[in-house]
């Protein structure tokens, strides 16, 4: 398996923006959100199992998973949340391992928004946290998603705190400046990860 750097950060911290900068350096990106969507694509065994359990009303008119409805069910019924996790986690894990095994870059960047919340930090060789203060997080999230301050605050409150996330970090990227200002730090970390992947030493 290639050396794995987990990249995480709160909503709107700039994970995608920073991941793109690593991708531009030739690093392969494995995106946990993309995998989570992939395993429940129309026609997938997991989506069929969900329909058997919850009925056709769990599908949209297009035949895709009606996420909002499923979210509502698992929010109200912890038993259903457990059932879903037991169904999806092994599939997500297997697909993640498969993509890692196929990777050809010296290390891979595994982008996992809920790394800390789901206790997945031990599945990576290194944890990189994209960090901005909460004011910036709220402002960028509101601007991007067109939501109110209250809505943005609610999402933040449901995630790990900045402190909890930073406590898990091996490395930190400060993304409070412009994206261009973060590039030297990305280049520096890239060199560090190449060294670590090749020699196991910093």
Q: Kindly list the residues in this chain that would bind ligand ATP in the complex (CB under 6 A).
A: 9, 11-17, 113, 140, 144, 175, 178-179
Q: Which helix (H) or strand (E) holds 31?
A: strand 28-31
C-alpha–C-alpha distance, residues 137 and 174, integer Å: 12
Indicate the residue among 104 and 163 with the shorter CB distance to ligand ATP: 163
35's CB contacts (< 8 A; 6+ apart) are 92, 95, 96, 99
Least separation in angstroms between residue 171's CB and ligand ATP is 16
Q: Which is nearer to ligand ATP, 80 or 174 (by Cβ)? A: 174
Is 60 annotated for ligand binding? no
| Token pair recorded at residue 21 | 């900068």
Alpha helices in the chain (DSSP H): 15-24, 32-38, 45-54, 67-76, 78-102, 134-145, 149-158, 162-167, 179-199
Q: Which is nearer to ligand ATP, 57 or 178 (CB)?
A: 178
Q: Which is nearer to ligand ATP, 37 or 144 (CB)?
A: 144
CA angle, residues 143, 145, 150, in degrees to nearest 5: 80
Q: Is residue 96 marked as binding?
A: no
- Please tell me the distance from the alpha carbon of residue 147 to that of residue 161, in angstroms, as a whole number: 20
**Nearest distance from residue 60's CB to ligand ATP, in Å?**
22
100 is in an annotated binding site: no
Q: Is 16 annotated as a binding residue?
A: yes
126 SS3 class: strand
Q: How far is the CB of 151 from ligand ATP (least distance, A)?
A: 13
- Report how far residue 115's alpha carbon sits from residue 6's, in angstroms, rounded to the nearest whole number: 8
14 is in an annotated binding site: yes
Q: How far is the CB of 97 from ligand ATP (least distance, A)?
A: 23
Q: Closest approach of Cβ 180 to ligand ATP, in Å?
A: 8
CB closer to ligand ATP, 124 vs 129: 129
Task: Write out the binding residues for ATP.
Answer: 12-17
Task: Write out the binding residues.
Answer: 12-17
């Amino acid at each position: 398996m290639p050396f794995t750097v987990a990249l995480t950060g709160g909503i709107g911290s700039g994970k995608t923006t920073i991941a793109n900068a690593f991708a531009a350096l030739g690093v392969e990106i494995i995106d946990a959100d993309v995998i989570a969507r992939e395993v429940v694509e129309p026609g997938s065994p997991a989506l069929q199992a969900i329909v058997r359990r919850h009925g056709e009303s769990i599908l949209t008119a297009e035949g895709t998973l009606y996420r909002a409805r499923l979210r509502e069910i698992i929010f109200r019924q912890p038993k259903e949340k457990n059932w879903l996790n037991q169904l999806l986690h092994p599939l997500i894990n297997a697909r993640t391992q498969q993509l890692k095994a196929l990777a050809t870059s010296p290390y891979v960047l595994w982008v996992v928004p809920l790394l800390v919340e789901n206790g997945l930090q031990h599945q990576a060789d290194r944890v990189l946290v994209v960090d901005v203060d909460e004011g910036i997080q709220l402002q960028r999230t509101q601007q991007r998603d067109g939501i109110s301050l209250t809505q943005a605050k609610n999402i933040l409150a449901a995630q790990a705190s900045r402190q909890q996330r930073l406590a898990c970090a091996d490395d930190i990227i400060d993304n409070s400046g412009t994206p261009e200002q973060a590039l030297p730090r990305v280049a520096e970390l890239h060199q560090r990860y190449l060294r670590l992947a090749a020699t196991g030493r910093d």
